[in-house]
Amino acid sequence: MAHITVDTLTYTQLAKSFDHALLRPEMTTSEVVLGCNLAARYDVKSVCVKPCDVRLAAETLAGTSVLVGTVISFPHGNSPTSIKIAESLQAIDDGATELDVVINIGLLRGGEVQKVEDEVRAVVQAAKKRYLGVLIKVIFENAYLSREEIVLACKLTERAGAEFVKTSTGFAATGHTIEDLRLMRESVSERIEVKASGGVKTLDQVVAILQTGTTRVGSSSTDKILDEFKRVRGL
């Protein structure tokens, strides 16, 4: 993936790496609709909305190629497993096809790795029983984790059957780092994809992210980044 540059990327390749984030707690219904319309206009991969906005996003994006994703136990990951499952099933019923699930960070940091793995597996199995095609991304919140804990989180996520490992919620003190993305890519098999989020604001950042083998980028600056790409490429 190191050969990726602004000049080698097509607009579609870049746009389809974006999960357009619509997660600000103060975001209104009309702002969610505007954000979904922006995502459709730029033809990104998905929107990532708050659970309460999933049905609205699904209705707004009906007939487009933009997928609807949401967050589970966001941003701290502290809900009981039963609530994470219930929230996941509700999101699927409302029209989400991608779920970004926050792990129980405290359990992981306390060395209770099996409990974390069991919880992720329970969410994955329940969600896929409801809708087999649902895609599960597991959020680690790397700002709170050591390198060793990030590796453990990668391994347990893969064993539990999820499809993605993800760096951050965007609500911690720090977000993605290139070092963390490389570590995560090295710590999972090719079956697992990597998502960067938290502090993604420029085209240069996105190119550097994609060079690590990361395939998805969560950002609320999607339009600015894609507009910058068009300017640079003269599109």
Concerning whether 195 is annotated as a catalytic residue, the answer is yes
Concerning whether 128 is annotated as a catalytic residue, the answer is no
- The full DSSP string for 4-65 is --TTT--HHHHHTTEEEEE--TT--HHHHHHHHHHHHHHT-SEEEE-GGGHHHHHHHTTTSS
Q: Which residues have C-beta within 8 Å of that of residue 103, sequence separation ≥ 6?
A: 77, 116, 119, 120, 138, 139, 140, 141, 153
Catalytic, out of 50, 166, 201, 224: 166
Catalytic, out of 195, 201, 224, 230: 195
Q: Which residues are catalytic?
A: 166, 195
